[in-house]
Structure formats: C-alpha cells, structure tokens
Amino acid sequence: MTVSSKITLVGAGPGGTDLISLRGLKALAKADIVLYDALVSEELLQYCPQAVQKIYVGKRANKHTYSQDQINEMLVKYALSHGHVVRLKGGDPFVFGRGYEEVEFAQKYNIETEVIPGISSAIGVPSLQGIPITHRGTTESFWVITGTTSNGKIAQDVYTAAKTSATVVILMGVRKLPEIVSIYKNEGRGSLPIAIIQNGAMPNEKIAVADIQSIEHMAKELHIESPAVIVIGEVVSFHTDYQKMIRENELINI
C-alpha cells in the first residue's frame, strides 16, 4: 500500500481550546500522526483519531525537546512512513512560529504541504483582555516584534518601535523587560501605558497593567513570567485596570 504523504501546519490559536479554527479541527480528525508544541492545549488532541500517535516536540526557553532541525527531519520521516502529519503549533504558524522553515524543508522532498492559519497571540490575547491593538483616533498601526533574537539579544526593532506612535506588541520579551523599559525611558516615554499578559486565554491567565516607569515593579509583584505578551501604547489605557489606576492617582492628588 502506497502512503500518501502530506504535512499540515495547524495554528491552534492562543491558549483556549475553543480558539482553533474549524478547518484546523478537521485536519486533526484526518491526521495519521501529530507533532505538537509547548503552547498547545493538550485537550485539542482529543479531536485526533484515538489510535493516532501524538508526539510532543515543544520548545520553551532553555528547554528544547528537539531542535528545529530535528523537528524538520521528523516531519518528513513521518510523512513518508505514516502519511498525513499534522504539525500543531500555538498561535499562528507564520508569526514567529518558524512555520515556513518546516514547509520549505518538506518541499525539498516534494511532500505536499498545507498551512491552516491560527489566531496569533499578538492580536488575540490583547483582544480577549479588552485591549484593541488599533483604535481610530488613537493609533494608526501596530507592530509585532520578537523580544529576543536567535543570538539571545534584544531585537533592534524595539529601539525603532520606541519612537513610533504605533501600538507595539512584543512576543518572547519578558526576560528583556528591563531593557525594553530602559529603551522607552531613554525616548522620554516613561508615562506610556503598557500591559503584560501571561498565559493568555488560559484559566491561569494574569495581567500586569501600568506605565513604562512602574511596570517592572508591578510585574515582579504579580510574579509575571513567560509565556507572555507585552503590549505598549495608548490603547492599553482602555483596559479597566489602567483606568482604575488613573482614578486612584487622581484621588491621591486631590
């Protein structure tokens, strides 16, 4: 029997199991094997056929089950031996998910590939907290930036972003928070609203909302850790916690 090889990259969305697309669920239902990431809810695996092998290939800070090269090779190997491989990735596969690297590698072996988009945490997580990343009269654009580059340093784009009026969303940036704060302060923007949302769309989600000059203290007080989404810009002022903070400050200054 000839195996029909295919690799489907499925974006699982941020956190909650109900944020995956219907097309994504249909792909899981037709999977012969599934390779899934750290930020994917394991509850989604119940939508796979019961006998399907499910392999965890998650990569978290300093804790990589497999390297990216190993994952690429596994995708091809299982596609050739099993048939339909579903690569289940948190958020959207093409937003800092290294999805195209996997597609490009598979295509070298003439394996059919499909990409099913997911809700990116860069957009979905702030929205679920009532923070619009764009709002007419407040911001005309938004930037999505990785906080940490492959060499472990802060992205140079953060320096440029600190000069703009755009909403800035930083992924994988919690460990670089002191540097981010310093960059914005150096631009004279210490009063700019900022939110850090940990475990977005999950039952254990928590959020720190403040201005640039006080966010480090609040994040430490609330024990904010990775994974988290950082949102910087005037749109954060629409969050109820920020509005509450403003009212409390006004009362103190009366």
Where b means 16+ CB within 10 Å and e means fewer, 207-239 reads bbbbbbeebbebbeeeebeebbbbbbbebbbeb
Computed from CA positions of residues 116, 92, 165, 246, in that sequence, does the dihedral angle turn out positive or negative? positive
Selecting among 54, 59, 185, 206, the annotated active-site residue is 59
Token pair of 235 as six digits? 């749109």
CB atoms within 10 A of CB 61: 13
The letter for the amino acid at 99 is G
For residue 113, the cross-strand partners are 7
Selecting among 172, 176, 211, 245, the annotated active-site residue is 172
- Alpha-carbon distances, residue 217 vs 181, 199, 205, 247, 252 (angstroms): 11, 19, 19, 20, 19
Catalytic annotation present for 1 = no
Selecting among 6, 32, 37, 89, the annotated active-site residue is 37
CB neighbour list of residue 176: distance below 8 Å, 6 or more residues apart: 147, 148, 154, 158
Active-site amino acid positions: 37, 59, 172
